[in-house]
Amino acid sequence: MTSASPRLPIATRACFVPACFAIATLDLQKPGLSSILLPLFCVSATVVLLACVLEQGWWFTRLIDRAWLRGLGRISYGLYLWHLPIYVAVGWKLGLPLALLAALLSYRFVERPFLRLRHGRREAPQPRPALASS
């Protein structure tokens, strides 16, 4: 821990309990309960993630800093797009690996080429020639 934010891990530990409670009991079919637990989870998760960014040596930061999680984060948009149609078509058990495969393929053959185009067009601005004064 750094001395700049000694209370941050304490606040974060305090947010673990409501976040875990919200996850365990969140039932989106009951609007009254979810209107309380969903914001509680969002605020708690934000505090926990902020602590992970600010406290690199924290045990939870080391726990979630894994290569496979970063890879899942890279394909998460494709996974978001593909999971529901595949689940509806083939079911959950076969749909999960197929959705992961579809997300990997769409990342490799769709997203990465567009990301390369976007970053490739960012060239350093060319210096303008100075106007000669008369």
In the chain, how many H helices and how many E strands?
A: 7, 0
Query: What is the rounded average pLDDT for all residues in the chain?
Result: 77
Residue 134: per-residue pLDDT: 45
Ordered DSSP codes for 8-67? HHHHHHHHHHHHHHHHHH--TT-HHHHHHHHHHHHHHHHHHHHHHHH-TTSHHHHHH--H
pTM of the model: 0.57
- Residue-wise pLDDT for 5-62, tens only, equals 555 566 666 676 666 666 666 665 666 766 777 777 788 788 888 888 888 887 888 8
Apex CA 113: angle with CA 123 and CA 107, to 5°? Answer: 135
Residue 95 has pLDDT above 50, yes or no: yes
